[in-house]
Structure 1
Amino acid sequence: MRSQALGLAEALGWPYEEKRYDLRGPWRHLPAPVAVRLARWRWGGAAAERALAGMAVGGIDPISPPWPDLVIACGRRAQVATLLIKQASRGRTFTVYIQNPRISPHHFDLVAAPEHDAVRGPNVVTTPLALHHVTPQRLQEARERWLPRWMGLFPRPWVGVLVGGPSRSVRWDGARFRQEFLRLEQWTKHACGSLFVTTSRRTPSKEVRWLQDRVGSEIPGWVWSGEGENPYFGILTCSDRLSVTQDSVSMISEAIESHRPVWDLSVGELSPRLRAFSALLRQKGWLTEIGGDAHTTMAPYMNPTATVAREVRRRFTAHCAGG
């Protein structure tokens, strides 16, 4: 979520400040509009600053006037802060919410929702991929940094593997993940290539250890598991192919932005939303199974972050003009 919000802020090119906000119980369990109404009753209609502090967990970034011209929010708990700021600024602050808000889009000035979600409305813009902060410049900088370190040390083709972990959207099946990874390993061995694997904070420790035991011994390559400099962007830009576990919409979206063939790794039972996302990308030819090639006729690709940034600029300009 943080990556999506920062990606949009960077794409706009305007000065911005990041604020991390989280709610304590019972506020975190309430729909945002209900929480805001109760907060206004508890702290008073004009006491947004006190309400924001009173509802938050300890250690969050303080949010206080002067209220910003624009708020970009991602994550359900950030909705409360966004709506309070909107009210405190008397509607002057333009509010953008990323992802499916699960409340009416009319609470925000603009909603950037995934195409595979059933979120539509006059102030909703949809994109097939998640917003991200992968840019050609960032990829080029990573290529110049990492390619000299790996060139000549590992046989090609290089297959980058992005591994996520259990979440509310997938019932993680370790046995299935290992079976899929062995299929990928077999393909790479047959191609006389190497595997570059990066795990995430959600990756189960037993899966990390299993990967570390195999990669570098059974097949050329290495596993990055959180120690030292993160090679994530290097993997995106230097790999000849990429394979991503199905649990992560963000990592799949970022992999597709690298303009490499992208294969998905099955990791268990997916939620209906994740199944719809995967089906949409396969239909467009942006995602295939291990060993598959992109469809001969791929759907035109547009950077989702740039698409939403253009819409934000247009609507923000009209908002400032009173239109």
Structure 2
Amino acid sequence: MEKQSIALAILLKKNYEIIKINPPYLLKLIPILGKFCFSGISQKLINNKKIPNYVITCGKRMAGLSILLKSTLKDKIKTIHIQNPKLPSNFFDLVIIPEHDKVKGLNIIQTKGALSFFSYSQLKNDYGYLKKNNTNIVLLMVGGKNKRYTPQSIDYLNLSLKVIEAIKKINAKLLVSVSRRTSKKAMRILDESFSKNLKNYQMLSISDKNPYPDILKISDYIIVTSDSVNMISETASLSIPLFVYNFPKESGKITIFLNDLENLGIIKFFQNSIFKYKKQKLKTNKITISKVNKFLGI
């Protein structure tokens, strides 16, 4: 969520400061309390600081903080909230919501997926040593437990078997990047399966430095699990062929979003093979900032 806020700040071409705060439980539970209570928090945030032109928040649990700061600073700031706050949009100056949430309003801008905090040209070539002899690199990005479902062990095993088949077809090297939502058990299942069946495979470590997104610089193909709209949106903005593996329990608005991307030629659903195709790029950043600038009059 922080990355989407950063993405918007960069697109606005403004100097920005990241302020990390964990709002009180009641403010997260009942965001509109920010209009009446917790003034001490806003005073602490703005104490001895220049009042910003914009306050960008992201995610439902941060909505109350946006309301609180607007209530305190009033017209001195403009508040921009990213993602559906599950509140009337008039609590904010501007709300940016994925179109698959199907929420509309005069101060709501709909986006196709999430904003991306990087472009391909900004990626560092820190992992060039992993690519040898012009071998194709397949990057598998795996998520895990989320609000909609929890993938089971069999889901990860089935994923690994299909990836193994695809890798062998093109004689590629497999790099696996996991997220904080990927359980240790899931990582063990994947590692054992890939180690046993592939000669050219590596599980990327996230203990010191997260390889994402710079690892994309050397990737020839990308496979992403369907639970992460953010990673799908970010990689969809690149020219690298993108395959999305649907976990069995995926449904609802995420399925609608993915089907839309497939129809637009942006992604392919992963079965057991990967290939080059005429990929279209997702242009969420460019389209969104144009609408934001017009709305804000800048």
TM-score (norm 1): 0.82
| Aligned counterpart in structure 2 of residue 36 of structure 1, from 34, 37, 41 | 34
Distance 1:228 1:218, change over 3 A: farther
Alpha carbons 2:42, 2:72 under 8 Å: kept? no
Higher alpha-carbon deviation: 274-283 or 110-119:
274-283
Match of 1:178 in 2: 157
Residue 127 of structure 2 corresponds to 146
Deviation at 1:2, TM superposition (A): 0.9
Conservation of the 8 A alpha-carbon contact between 2:126 and 2:215? no
Distance 1:199 1:302, change over 3 A: closer
Equivalent of 2:217, from 237, 242, 247?
237
Tell me the distance in 2 between the aligned counterparts of 1:84 and 1:202.
30
Q: From 89, 93, 99, give the equivalent of 1:109.
A: 93
Instruction: Measure the CA separation in 1 of the matches of 2:223 and 2:131.
Output: 20
Which amino acid is the alignment partner of residue 158 of structure 1? Answer: I
Q: Indicate which of 239, 246, 249 corresponds to 1:269.
A: 249
Q: Is the 8 A contact 1:73 1:82 kept in 2?
A: yes
Alignment partner, residue 205 of structure 1: 184
Residue 217 of structure 1 and its aligned partner are, at CA, apart by: 4.6
* Aligned pairs for 1:27-66 within 5 A: 27-30=27-30, 32-33=31-32, 35-39=33-37, 48=39, 50-52=40-42, 62-65=44-47, 66=50
- Are 1:6 and 1:133, in contact at CA under 8 Å, matched by a contact in 2? yes
The equivalent residue for 2:197 is 218
Contact 1:67-1:85 at 8 Å conserved across structures? no
Q: Distance in 2 between matches of 1:228 and 1:215?
A: 23
Letter in 1 for 2:135: R
Q: Who is 1:57 aligned against?
A: none
Gap change, CA 1:72 and 1:112, over 3 Å in 2: same
Confirm whether residue 8 of structure 1 aligns to residue 8 of structure 2.
yes
Unaligned runs of 5+ in 1: 54-61, 319-323
Q: Percent of aligned pairs with the same residue?
A: 25
Q: Deviations over 1:241-287 (max 9, x none)?
A: 10001100011111212221111123241252222222221222212
CA contact (8 A) 1:173 1:267 kept: no
**Which has the higher mean CA deviation after the structures are superposed, 309-318 or 169-178?**
309-318
Conserved? CA contact 1:8–1:308, under 8 Å: no
Equivalent residue, structure 1, for 2:238? 258
Task: Verify the 8 A CA contact 2:28 2:64 in the aligned structure 1.
Answer: no
Distance in structure 1 (CA, Å) of the matches to 2:223 and 2:10: 27
In 2, the alpha carbon distance for the partners of 1:11 and 1:185 equals 39
Alpha-carbon distance, 1:210 to partner: 2.1
Alignment map for 1:67-216 (pairs within 5 Å) = 67-139=51-123, 142=124, 144-147=125-128, 149-152=129-132, 156-216=135-195
User: Secondary structure, in 3 states, of the residue corresponding to 1:270?
Assistant: coil
Which runs of no fewer than 5 residues in structure 2 stay unpaired? none
Q: Which moved more, 1:255-264 or 1:231-240?
A: 231-240
Q: Decide whether aligned partners of structure 1 residues 284 and 174 sit closer, same or farther in structure 2, where only a CA change above 3 A counts.
A: farther
The one-letter code of the counterpart of 2:57 is A
The residue matched to 1:71 in structure 2 has which SS? Answer: strand
Corresponding residue SS for 1:112: strand
Residues 173 and 268 of structure 1 are in contact (CA less than 8 Å); yes or no, is this contact kept in structure 2? no
8 Å contact from structure 1 (residues 69, 94) kept in 2? yes
* Range with greater deviation from structure 2 (252-261 or 284-293): 284-293
Q: Secondary structure at the match of 2:76?
A: coil
Alpha-carbon contact 2:27-2:64 (below 8 Å) kept = no
> More deviation in 287-296 or 4-13?
287-296
| Paired residues, number | 293
Q: CA deviation at 1:197?
A: 0.5
State whether residues 70 and 94 of structure 1, in contact with CA within 8 Å, keep that contact through their aligned partners in structure 2: yes
Moved more, 121-130 or 216-225: 216-225
Aligned-partner SS, 1:171: coil
For residues 70-97 of structure 1, the C-alpha deviation after alignment (integer angstroms, 9 at most, x for no partner) is 0111011221121121122222311111
